[in-house]
Amino acid sequence: MILFNVPTTTGNESIYINEAIKEGHLSGDGKFTKLCNGWFEDKFDVQKSLLTTSCTHALEMSAILADIKEGDEVIMPSYTFVSTANAFVLRGARIVFVDIRPDTMNIDESLIEEAITSKTKAIVPVHYAGVACDMDKILEIANKHNIVVIEDAAQGVMSQYKGRYLGTIGHIGCYSFHETKNYNSGEGGAILVNHESYVERAEIIREKGTNRSRFFRGQVDKYTWVDLGSSYLPSEINAAFLYAQLEQAEEINNNRMQSWNRYHIGLADLEKRGYVQLPTIPNECSHNAHMYYLKCRSLDERTRLIQFLKERGVQSVFHYIPLHSSNAGKQFGRFNGKDNYTTIESEKLLRLPLYYNFANDDLDKVVDSIYKFYI
Ligand SMILES: *Cc1c(COP(=O)(O)O)cnc(C)c1O
């Protein structure tokens, strides 16, 4: 059986976890959490990185930081994971869904401005498959209307847009270290705070609404409840696990990229003959090989291809029933303008197996099976 995903491990995870145990500090913000945050701050040149328990929680923190209140509107694509929307709905926002571009499956930047109303408080670009949205255009619109930009870069760790790391370009960025992502701690995430004005409040929200971080730095002589907050910090065990992977981030990235390119070359002829469509990477983007997908010509064809692959021992998956067509999506949001691409393109997309150290023999078998289906 060729599995769709195998969580990344480097071999050093258990060594670092044992080190954390020996340190005798297992709750959050110990040595390994600091190492991880420092890694992002140095390598990605970001103001402040704070590990969180998930990307979902990083998004929830962002909604609090952006001061989202009852009746505010937040713009995002409908083709995304539920947490992108839920984090804002939890604070009382209404979601305004905007159509995607068929080439990258990212929010269509040319449709954002017409979705803005006097209630719009935030835009949440989702970098699908680790391929960047048009951030220049999105930031230009946001600045013009004084709106916060929160990047859902759950899939985009190590990807770049015009030489800048995803998650460091908007006001706030959110990462996921779920086991299905490129770097993982089982469950985990991070919030990147790219504006000085948000830093102190982000620390407070993450520490149950207290100024505990300032207390530990000796900036106040006792700590107390000062704001909204929750417990968004992961334990040192998770941070130790993650650090073992960050240390080898380049190696993991190169390894995945090799598989991605092998799929892309292997399937090129099928695309040329018009059977499938392969991913497009815009010139200004360098991606992280988070995902390899192809697009079939119809939903029915995709269903048959999944079954065909399954019979040959290959696991393939689709995802994201567009949020605006779900029950909760209808209740908490609206689709602005016409759904030209979101539904139809999501029905054609199929994700192929791709993970760290995916064997070339297995990859070739997947490619072969897809050729057999079509030809
Ligand atoms: C994985 C993912 C999330 C959620 O990440 P968790 O760490 O599991 O909470 C959010 N948004 C997108 C686009 C994702 O792919």
Query: CA 192, CA 346: separation in Å to the nearest integer?
Result: 29
179 in the same domain as 107: yes
- Quote the ligand 1 centre to 245 CA distance (angstroms): 18
Instruction: Region of 233 please: left (phi>0), alpha (psi -120 to 50) or beta.
Output: beta
pLDDT of residue 108: 98
Write out pLDDT tens, residues 10-64.
999 999 999 999 999 999 999 999 999 999 999 999 999 999 999 999 999 999 9
Decide: 182 in ligand 1 pocket, CB within 6 A: no
Q: Is the pTM of this model over 0.85?
A: yes
Tell me, yes or no, whether 177 lies in a domain: yes
What average pLDDT does this structure show over 245-260? 98
Rounded to the nearest integer, the mean pLDDT of the chain is 97
Is residue 155 lining ligand 1, measured as CB closer than 6 Å?
A: yes
Indicate whether residue 301 lines ligand 1 (CB < 6 A): no
pLDDT at 322: 98
CB atoms within 10 A of CB 369: 19
Query: Number of structural domains, the chain?
Result: 2
Of 101-105, 210-214, 244-248, 334-338, the one with minimum mean pLDDT is 210-214
For the CA of 80, the nearest atom of ligand 1: 13
Q: What are phi and psi of 160, to 5 degrees?
A: -130, 155
CB 320 within 8 A of CB 80: yes
Residue 330 and residue 216 in one domain: no
Q: Indicate if ligand 1 lies below 6 Å from the C-beta of 152.
A: yes
Q: Is 77 in the pocket of ligand 1 (CB under 6 A)?
A: no
pLDDT digits (tens, 9 = 90+) for 123-166: 999 999 999 999 999 999 999 999 999 999 999 999 999 999 99
Q: What is the pLDDT of residue 186?
A: 98
Ligand 1 atom, smallest distance to 126 CA = 13
The predicted pLDDT at position 269 comes to 98
Q: Which atom of ligand 1 is nearest to the CA of 189?
A: 7
Domain end among 246, 266, 296: 246
How far is residue 202's CA from residue 178's CA, in Å, rounded to a whole number? 21
258 and 239 fall within a common domain? no
Shared-domain flag, residues 332 and 272: yes
pLDDT in tens, 302-359: 999 999 999 999 999 999 999 999 999 999 999 999 999 999 999 999 999 999 999 9
- 193 and 75 belong to one structural domain: yes
Residue 33: domain span: 13-246
State if residue 189 touches ligand 1 by the CB under 6 angstroms criterion: yes
d(CA 83, CA 323): 10
Q: If you take atom 2 of ligand 1, which residue's CA is the nearest one?
A: 154
CA distances from 22 to 15, 32, 86, 137 (A): 11, 12, 38, 49
Instruction: Using the atom order of ligand 1, give the atom closest to the CA of residue 128.
Output: 13
- Do 138 and 231 lie in one domain? The reply is yes
Rounded Cα–Cα distance for residues 256 and 284 (Å): 20
| Residue where one domain finishes, among candidates 246, 275, 301 | 246
Using pLDDT thresholds of 50, 70 and 90, give the confidence band for residue 107: very high
What is the number of the ligand 1 atom nearest to the C-alpha of 54?
7
Residue 357 near residue 303, CB atoms below 8 Å: no
- pLDDT computed for residue 145 by the predictor: 98
Residue 85 Cβ contacting ligand 1 at under 6 Å: no
SS3 state of residue 5: coil
